[in-house]
């Protein structure tokens, strides 16, 4: 009798499975589109890695991002590879969406209209995803955005930043999309905010949450960069006079924190709409930024350097199958493209420079890349291996060597104390250049004078 009952149960289960009413616990091959998780990718603009309360900043108020970070895996060593132009956001987002490294981008030939044959949104759309983008206009090659099924832009980037409600326009539209879309396909939402990029304006109640007079200065604050790094008077560097005074930097940081706190609230609205839709537990959520920002660190204001504050954004990932905690694994922002492919069971397209770090997310590995190579136009190169980081300034034949375990703020150059380590990293840096197609010599036969002063900077042309 029991055996017959068991047979009947097995038969009923098989009928339901064939009818599509049940999903097998283990699928043979990658999951079909209807069973793949959603992807929500939140990308801010100019946000330093140290601007989230849960990650160690005692001053800033980011309750939404705190909860998200604690629910997933935090990457302490995510980097933007750098830039071959002053507008670091453009190559950063180009790398991110194309899976190509800095020296393999095509924007010099195609300008803003580059449409890579293989790209992030096209790959997911072809796999059955409903793809949605909303962001600022100067957001990487416009051609790539045409591969989103829903291609949206801010009406006016600067007007949105000046509105005092950073992120609200994108959040309003995202909430509407989540509330009204059909749920017959998984979605890929890429929300590329224009904040906390300057001009940084927020309604007064959010700025008043911070005491400007008591605002801590960055640990590596300097009134002036100690030597000419090749980019001291560009657009971003003119946002504050030389020398940078504590009063001026505190004002900028207060504005910055107020904008981030309001933006955090808008992200919270999006996540709440996702919960109401019933899709939250089926969604992998990524949060990052295109790069960081100096904002007084090292005597600089912008992101046009290879310091940690400039090229290290926050990154955390949460959702089904993602472990919780923190990792020191080295990753690039552009590694996100193949990583998402792995997570959702899509074959990663051939020919990408990016590497998946999905094994780190799922706990199968603690490492992703063995080293990080960084570059900014023709004036700066850097290499990080383990805790050691070498920065090279070819135009003035100068190096900086730091141990980031002992000196995470890159305050102390120890190249004189460790000449063997400097030579070792210079050799490795040259190899990384060659592997990445970077032909810039690391020394100049006619180096510039590295001396700099506030007076010369004030009168130097942009």
Give the pLDDT confidence of 302-339 residue by residue, as tens digits: 999 999 999 999 999 999 999 999 999 999 999 999 99
Q: Give the chain's mean pLDDT.
A: 92
Question: Distance between CA atoms of 333 and 413, rounded to whole angstroms?
Answer: 27
Rounded average pLDDT over 414-422: 98
- pLDDT (0 to 100) of residue 18: 36
The domain 376-459 having CATH identifier 1.10.1760.20: the answer here is no
- pLDDT (0 to 100) of residue 302: 98
Q: pTM of the predicted model, to two decimals? A: 0.92
Does the pLDDT at position 285 exceed 60? yes
Question: Distance between CA atoms of 434 and 442, rounded to whole angstroms?
Answer: 12
Give the 3-state DSSP-derived string for the chain, with helices as H, strands as E and coil as C. CHHHHHHHHHHHHHHHHHCCCCCCCCCCCCCCHHHCCEEEEEEECCCCCCCCHHHCCCCCCCHHHHHHHHCCEEEEEEECCEECCCCCHHHHHHHHHHCCCHHHCCHHHHHHHCCCCCCHHHHHHHCCCEEEEEECCCCCCHHHHCCCCEEEECCCHHHHHHCCCCCHHHHHHHHHHHHHCCCCCCEEEEEECCCCCCCCCCCHHHHCCCCHHHCCCCCCECCCCCCCCCCCCCCHHHHCCCCCCHHHHHHHHHHHHHHHHHHHHHHHHHHHHHHHCCCHHHEEEEEEECCCCCCCECCCCCCCCCCHHHHCCCEEEECCCCCCEEEEEEEEHHHHHHHHHHHHCCCCCCCCCCCCCHHHHHCCCCCCECCEEEEECCCEEEEEECCEEEEEECCCCEEEEEECCCCCCCCCCCCCCCHHHHHHHHHHHHHHHHHHCCCCCCCCCCCCCCCCCHHHHHHCCC
Contact 317/329 with Cβ under 8 angstroms? no
- pLDDT (0 to 100) of residue 141: 85
Does the pLDDT at position 434 exceed 90? yes
CA distance readout (Å), 211 to 91, 148, 200, 206, 264: 36, 42, 17, 11, 19
Contact 55/73 with Cβ under 8 angstroms? no
376-459 shares the fold of 35-370: no
- pLDDT (0 to 100) of residue 433: 98
CA distance readout (Å), 25 to 17, 28, 31, 35, 65: 11, 10, 11, 12, 32
Contact 51/218 with Cβ under 8 angstroms? no
- pLDDT (0 to 100) of residue 29: 35
Secondary-structure class of domain 35-370 per CATH:
alpha beta
pLDDT band at 15 (very low <50, low <70, confident <90, very high): very low
CA angle 363, 436, 43 (to 5 degrees): 50
Beta bridge partners of 391: 382, 400
- pLDDT (0 to 100) of residue 460: 83
Does the pLDDT at position 4 exceed 90? no
Higher pLDDT, 138 or 126: 126
Q: Give the least confident one: 22-36, 111-125, 213-227.
A: 22-36
Query: Domain segments of the chain: what residues?
Result: 35-370, 376-459
Q: Residue-wise over 269-307: b if at least 16 C-beta within 10 A, else e?
A: bbbebbeebebbebbbbbbbbbbbbbbbbbbbbbbbbbb
Question: Distance between CA atoms of 35 and 56, rounded to whole angstroms?
Answer: 37
Does the pLDDT at position 252 exceed 90? yes
pLDDT band at 24 (very low <50, low <70, confident <90, very high): very low
Tokens of 259: 């904008």
CA angle 144, 148, 149 (to 5 degrees): 155
Question: Distance between CA atoms of 404 and 384, rounded to whole angstroms?
Answer: 9
Tokens of 166: 């950073």
């Amino acid at each position: 009798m029991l055996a017959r009952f068991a047979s009947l149960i097995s038969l009923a289960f098989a009928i339901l499975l064939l009818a599509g009413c049940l999903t097998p616990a283990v699928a043979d091959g990658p999951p079909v589109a209807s069973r793949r998780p959603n992807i929500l990718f939140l990308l801010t603009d100019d946000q330093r890695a140290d601007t989230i309360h849960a990650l160690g900043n005692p001053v800033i108020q980011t309750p939404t991002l705190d909860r998200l970070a604690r629910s997933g895996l935090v990457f302490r060593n995510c980097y933007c590879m750098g830039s071959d132009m002053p507008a670091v956001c453009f190559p950063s987002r180009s790398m991110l969406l194309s899976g190509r490294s800095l020296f393999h981008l095509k924007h010099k030939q195609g300008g803003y209209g580059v449409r890579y044959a293989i790209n992030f949104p096209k790959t997911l759309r072809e796999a059955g995803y409903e793809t949605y983008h909303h962001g600022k206009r100067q957001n990487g090659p416009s051609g790539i955005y045409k591969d989103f099924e829903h291609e949206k832009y801010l009406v006016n980037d600067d007007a949105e930043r000046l509105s005092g409600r950073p992120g609200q326009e994108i959040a309003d539209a995202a909430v509407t999309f989540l509330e009204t879309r059909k749920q017959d396909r998984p979605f890929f939402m890429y929300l590329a905010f224009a904040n906390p990029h300057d001009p940084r304006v927020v309604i007064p109640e959010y700025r008043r949450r911070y005491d400007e007079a008591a605002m801590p200065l960055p640990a590596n604050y300097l009134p002036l960069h100690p030597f000419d790094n090749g980019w001291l008077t560009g657009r971003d560097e003119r946002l504050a006079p030389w020398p940078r005074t504590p009063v001026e930097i505190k004002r900028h940081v207060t504005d910055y924190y107020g904008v981030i706190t309001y933006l955090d609230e808008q992200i919270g609205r999006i996540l709440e709409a996702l919960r109401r839709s019933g899709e939250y537990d089926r969604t992998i959520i990524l949060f990052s930024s295109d790069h960081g920002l100096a904002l007084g660190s090292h005597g600089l204001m912008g992101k046009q350097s290879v310091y940690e504050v400039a090229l290290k954004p926050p990154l955390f990932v949460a959702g089904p199958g993602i472990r919780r905690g923190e990792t020191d694994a080295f990753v690039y922002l552009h590694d996100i493209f193949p990583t998402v492919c792995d997570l959702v069971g899509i074959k990663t397209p051939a020919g990408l420079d990016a590497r998946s770090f999905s094994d780190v997310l799922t706990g199968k590995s603690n490492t992703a890349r063995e080293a990080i190579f960084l570059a900014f136009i023709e004036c700066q190169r850097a290499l990080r291996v383990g805790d050691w980081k070498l920065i090279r300034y070819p135009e003035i034949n100068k190096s900086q060597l730091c141990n980031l375990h002992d000196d995470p703020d890159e305050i102390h150059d120890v190249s004189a104390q460790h000449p063997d380590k400097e030579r070792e990293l210079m050799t490795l840096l040259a190899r990384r250049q060659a592997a990445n197609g970077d032909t810039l010599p690391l020394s100049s036969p006619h180096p510039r004078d590295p001396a700099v002063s506030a007076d010369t900077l004030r009168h130097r042309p942009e």
